[in-house]
């Protein structure tokens, strides 16, 4: 089957995720500087979550540039990724209300970890279909480092939630530029 419907569906779900996240933002309850300062942690967490969703959207686009057709396994791998991404508005809202509480910060980190795992599974599946080098999925040092850092952030959040938040920011910075995907020497470029 062609990839067009999958890409359109994914773009729609991602747009809805971003819309729900912005609707969860709370305005200041007053006009004083202290009122504005009270909502800054929520706005910052929204900005971080927006960047994460944007990173996944850009990398998703980069992955699908390499294939012409998809199969059922790809559809399910993509839905797996979208499921974890769809939890971003919930965990963002919760951690925005309790930015230094261990449970919300830990759950935010768990969702980021599972988004990363599901993206790597989708990447691996698409790589199989397109004849790409699998080094960009599991074996890639950047991916291994990310998984370890997400797991570390979850553990750290139970004792030092602000440090876990810093790890989340550093990981977002690491992923702002998508990986370059190399093809096997003998494979054809699609299209």
Tell whether 18 is covered by a domain: yes
Tell whether 185 is covered by a domain: no
Q: What is the pLDDT of residues 152-183, one digit of tens each?
A: 999 999 999 999 999 999 999 998 866 655 44
Distance CA 79, CA 72 (A): 11
Going by pLDDT thresholds of 50, 70 and 90, the confidence category of residue 138 is low
Percent of the chain with pLDDT over 70: 88
> What DSSP assignment string belongs to 56-114?
HHHHHHHHHTT-SB--HHHHHHHHHHHHHHHTHHHHHHHHHHSTT-HHHHHHHHHHHHH
pLDDT for residue 187: 41
Domains in the chain, number: 1
Range of the domain at 11: 4-174
Tell whether 79 is covered by a domain: yes
Q: Which long-range contacts (CB under 8 A, 24 or more apart) does 157-164 make?
A: 157/102, 157/105, 157/106, 157/108, 157/109, 158/102, 158/106, 159/102, 161/99, 161/100, 161/101, 161/102, 161/105, 161/106, 162/100, 164/105, 164/106, 164/109
Tell whether 180 is covered by a domain: no
Tell whether 181 is covered by a domain: no
Tell whether 53 is covered by a domain: yes
Tell whether 179 is covered by a domain: no
pLDDT for residue 137: 57
Q: What is the pLDDT of residues 16-55, one digit of tens each?
A: 999 999 999 889 999 999 999 989 989 999 999 999 999 9
Tell whether 73 is covered by a domain: yes
The strand pairing partners of 183, in sequence order, are 132
pTM for the full predicted model: 0.87
Residues contacting 23, CB < 8 A, separation 6+:
none
């Amino acid at each position: 089957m062609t990839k067009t419907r999958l890409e359109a569906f994914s773009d729609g779900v991602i747009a809805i995720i971003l819309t729900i996240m912005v609707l969860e933002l709370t305005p200041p309850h007053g006009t004083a500087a202290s009122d504005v300062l009270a909502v800054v942690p929520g706005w910052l967490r929204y900005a971080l979550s927006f960047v994460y969703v944007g990173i996944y959207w850009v990398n998703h686009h980069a992955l699908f540039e390499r294939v012409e057709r998809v199969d059922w396994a790809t559809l399910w791998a993509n839905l797996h990724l979208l499921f974890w991404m769809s939890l971003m508005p919930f965990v963002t809202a919760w951690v925005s209300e309790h930015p230094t509480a261990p449970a919300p910060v830990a759950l935010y980190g768990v969702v980021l970890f599972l988004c990363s795992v599901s993206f790597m599974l989708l990447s691996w599946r698409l790589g199989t279909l397109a004849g790409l080098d699998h080094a960009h999925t599991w074996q890639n040092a950047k991916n291994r480092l990310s998984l370890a850092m997400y797991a570390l952030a979850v553990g750290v959040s139970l004792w030092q939630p602000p440090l876990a938040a810093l790890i989340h920011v550093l990981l977002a910075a690491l992923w702002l530029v998508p990986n370059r995907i190399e093809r096997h020497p003998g494979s054809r470029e699609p299209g």
